[in-house]
Amino acid sequence: VGTYILTTALLPLLEKEADARVITVSSGGMLVQKLNISDLQSGSGTFDGTMVYAQNKRQQVVLTEQWAKAHRNIHFSVMHPGWADTPAVRSSMPDFYQKMKNTLRTEAQGADTVVWLAVSSEATRLPSGLFFQDRQPVPTHLPLARTQSPPEDEKKLMEVLEEFSQKFKSSSP
């Protein structure tokens, strides 16, 4: 809901700018998840932080696609930085880090595509709403993974996030 609240709060300002861009940093981890609108708060079943993370990253991809359709004056992109050697990877995924530490990207390599999306005129010549890795649009679904969602689920996600965000707005001083 944080990505939704921040971005929707900025949309009126961004609509007025000539080269407005919104870039969301997602993760390739979202490729293993289908959008699940029935449990957005992860309140049922056993909590699995890795899958909740992947679900949140899938939601970010859907948000980006939906915003790109609704706001034609703003260029939306979502990206996967690749697996980079960061403190977050070291602490949240210690086994993965130990196995992969010699092949992980540097932080600068991980940041390359998001910086390119933010400043490159080449990036805005590509369609809005795409998912990027290494400065290239890449698919948001793996072949045969069955992670595609029906349009009504994507619409429902937007509605539910708007409802959640209204609760936060009404409770803030």
**Annotation marks residue 4 as catalytic:** no
List C-alpha distances in Å: 138 to 41, 61, 80, 130, 168. 28, 12, 10, 8, 34
Asked whether the beta carbons of 81 and 114 are under 8 A apart, the reply is: yes
CA distance 156 to 15: 24
Asked whether the beta carbons of 79 and 132 are under 8 A apart, the reply is: yes
For strands 130-133 and 136-137, give the pairing: antiparallel
CA distance 116 to 101: 25
Of the candidates 53, 96, 116, 164, the residue annotated as catalytic is 53
Asked whether the beta carbons of 75 and 17 are under 8 A apart, the reply is: no
Q: Which residues are catalytic?
A: 53
